[in-house]
Structure formats: structure tokens, C-alpha cells
Amino acid sequence: MVEVSGLTKYYGDLCAIQDVSFAVQRGEILGFLGPNGAGKTTTMRIITGFMPANQGTVKVENFDVQTQSREVRKRIGYLPENPPVYSHMTVSSYLEFVARIKGVPKKQVRGSLERVLQKCSLTEVASRLIGHLSKGYRQRVGLAQALIHDPPVLILDEPTIGLDPRQIIEIRSLIKELAGDRTVILSTHILPEVSQVCTKVVIINDGRVVVEKNLKELTQGVTLEEVFLRYISRENGEKELENQRPLS
């Protein structure tokens, strides 16, 4: 469903990610896990076509994100860390606007709107201004805009950051419900989020993938926190050792 191969991205002389590769199958919820600054958001932006990679490829349902960008965008719903909502619009008018931008046929806009309002529990606030909603509801509006064109792939970048505990539980439950036939990539640095929601884990550190495994296989007899710290520490230890070696 989503195949990422050899992604490398430079910002000037800074290498943000290097040789990032992983795959996600239909129905899987992949936890893309790493500390802040590890390269998670850069990878998500490349997968969704918001920026190009210097090297590597991304294929979504066998369409290449660089050469077939329009086809890829039709198949992806993207919730960035800061949801792209307009505070001066009502929930309904904003979602109708997004539906038109994303190419939902005119005759299907009303049905698509009702579907995401119900799925994201927004029916009661449909006529309210987005700027008057709580952060939790604004996050739901962000999810709704990602779902309005009914994409088979959903990319979520830190979807619960800044929410209170009750809102976090609600959003996590919604993400589980959204999976099913969809492929979901959940980028986060919050370990409990991955443990409770995901079926597969990719850990990235300092721009490199350090592990890619099924969650159950990865956490046999240990917690995800122990696994995470082990791989991050191992990676850092190997880099420190490399830096200490004398030049030949």
C-alpha cells in the first residue's frame, strides 16, 4: 500500500533524513516513532508530496509521489501537526470547501460532509465557527478534512499533541475506528499512543530508521519504552564510538 525506499533529504548542508525505508500494508496502523527532531515530520511531508526528497522514492498504491503526485494526493488524507483549519469559517462550510478542493464530485459533497461529521462526532457543532471550538474539536475537524474524500491512506502527524487526557482518549479511539480497510501512518513521539493504537512500529533516530517490526513481536517480554530506549541508546552509542575512532 505504501512503500518508502531510500529517502534522503537535505536542508542546505543538514541531512534531515538518510536512507529511510519501510512499508505499510492495507489495514495496518504503523507507528512512526522517534524523539523530537528525529526526522518524522520531514518523512511525512515527503510521503504526502508536500516537499521533494533529494534521493529515494515513495509509492502509494503503486503510484509514485514524484511522477504521479496527483494520483497519490487523491489516495492520501493528511493531518499535519497543526491542522489546516480556518477559524472564521463554520465547520460545515470549511469541510465543503475542502471537499471541492480535493475533487469530490459536486453531487457527492453533501453525502461526504454528513459522513465525516458523523464519523468524527462533529454533527452537533457543524454550524459553529471553528475558532470558537475547543482544541479537541478543532483536531476532529482536522481529521474530518483528511477524510472528506474517503482516502485509502491516512497520514497523521502528532494527532494528539496539546490535547487533554479525555480528548487524547477520544482521538485514539477514533483513529482505531478509522483503520479497517485503510492504511494509517501515525507519526508521534508519545509511546503510549503507539502501544494502544498501532499494529506495527518503525523507530527513527537522527534521521535513520533503526527498527521496523510488528508491535507484538517487538515487545515480547518487554515494554515499548524499554525497546525504544534500547534502540535509541544503541544508535547513539554506535555514533559516539564511531566519532572516537582514530582516522586512518
How far is the C-alpha of 179 from the C-alpha of 54, rounded, in Å? 31
Q: Which amino acid is at 44?
A: M
How far is the C-alpha of 227 from the C-alpha of 242, rounded, in Å? 23
How far is the C-alpha of 122 from the C-alpha of 200, rounded, in Å? 29
Specify the pLDDT at position 156: 94
How far is the C-alpha of 15 from the C-alpha of 53, rounded, in Å? 11
The whole-model pTM stands at 0.87
**Percent of the chain predicted with pLDDT > 70:** 94
> Per-residue pLDDT averaged across 107-111, rounded?
96
Collapsing DSSP to helix, strand or coil, 237 comes out as helix
User: Is the pLDDT assigned to residue 242 strictly greater than 50?
Assistant: no
Specify the pLDDT at position 246: 46
Which residues are paired to 8 by β-bridges? Answer: 55
Split at pLDDT 50, 70, 90, the class of 236 is low
User: Is the pLDDT assigned to residue 237 strictly greater than 50?
Assistant: no
Which residues touch 131 (CB under 8 Å, ≥6 apart)? 87, 88
Split at pLDDT 50, 70, 90, the class of 113 is very high
User: Is the pLDDT assigned to residue 163 strictly greater than 90?
Assistant: no
- H helix and E strand count, the chain: 9, 10
Summarised one tens digit per residue, pLDDT across range 183-228 is: 999 998 889 889 999 999 999 999 999 999 999 999 999 999 999 9
Sheet holding 29-33, edge to edge: 76-79, 153-157, 183-188, 29-33, 200-205, 208-214
> Per-residue pLDDT averaged across 107-129, rounded?
95
Q: Which three cell numbers stand for residue 87?
A: 477559524
Side-chain-side CA neighbours of residue 58 (13 Å):
27
